[in-house]
Chains A and B, each alone.
Chain A
Amino acid sequence: EVQLVESGGALVQPGGSLTLSCAASGFTFSGYEMHWVRQAPGKGLEWLSHIDTTGSTMYYADSVKGRFTISRDNAKNSLYLRMNSLRAGDTAIYYCVRLEQHLLTSWGQGTLVTVSS
């Protein structure tokens, strides 16, 4: 069974940094491209970032480009999202998502990031 478990969500002050992690199991992690998607409280889904299987190609939404960095460690079956210069508008549940044939097929349960003073 595919499992994606996010962690690292926390309350952080504006301007602060945070790194989210996603532990993958139940599939060959190194064979799948991965994404981060977020959802602000009571709002819709926002795609944030994509990384290819080797970690050599990454894409970002304009809203986080230059502030967020996606990475992965295939040896540890883990995906990461380093978030810098956090703003109140970054408050959201952050989902780790597996890509399969261009589709976001498997989602974690999400981890909550709250940016507030």
Chain B
Amino acid sequence: DIQMTQSPSTLSASVGDRITISCRASQSISTWLAWYQQKPGKAPKLLIYRASSLESGVPSRFSASGSGTEFTLTISSLQPDDFATYYCQQYITLWTFGQGTKVEIK
């Protein structure tokens, strides 16, 4: 099974900060990686697919990169609406989520 590991688990930041979340796969997944945002009490929302493609309607301050086993999600200027938990997910072999990164207000 492919394991996904995110870091950090929690990230404290301020509005306007640039933040980066990392995701590592236990084996190569090429670019079969997605990122989701989840707010408390809500279902997850797809942000990024194929490692770097922005889902329609997602603000351009979100970007992502990577291939193989190392991936990153970057928010260029953190906005109040961005405080949430972010999950990476591989979909090359079945589907596996990372454990999540909670972005909280500093």
A interface residues, Cβ below 8 angstroms from B: 35, 44-47, 50, 59, 61-62, 95, 101-105, 107-110
Contact = CB atoms under 8 A, between A and B. Distances in A.
B52 to A, nearest CB: 14
B49 A46 contact: no
A45 B97 contact: yes
Given A50-B94, A50-B95, A104-B95, A44 B100 contact: yes
A59 B46 CA distance: 22
A105 B97 CA distance: 14
The A interface, classified by DSSP as helix, strand, loop or mixed, is strand
B32 interface: yes
B81 interface: no
B90 to A, nearest CB: 10
Contact-residue size bin, chain B (C-beta under 8 Å from the other chain): 20 to 34
B91 A102 contact: yes
A107 B43 contact: yes
Contacts of A109: 43
Interface string B82-106: 0000010101001111111000000
Of A46, A107, A108, most B-chain CB atoms within 10 Å: A107
Interface of B: 1, 32, 34, 36, 38, 43-46, 49, 87, 89, 91, 94-100
A104 B96 contact: no
Contacts of A103: 34, 46, 49, 91
Contact of B43 (A47, A59, A110): A110
A24 to B, nearest CB: 15
A101 B32 CA distance: 11
B101 to A, nearest CB: 10
B46 A95 contact: no
Contacts of B97: 44-47
Given A44-B100, A45-B100, A47-B95, A102 B32 contact: yes
A64 to B, nearest CB: 13
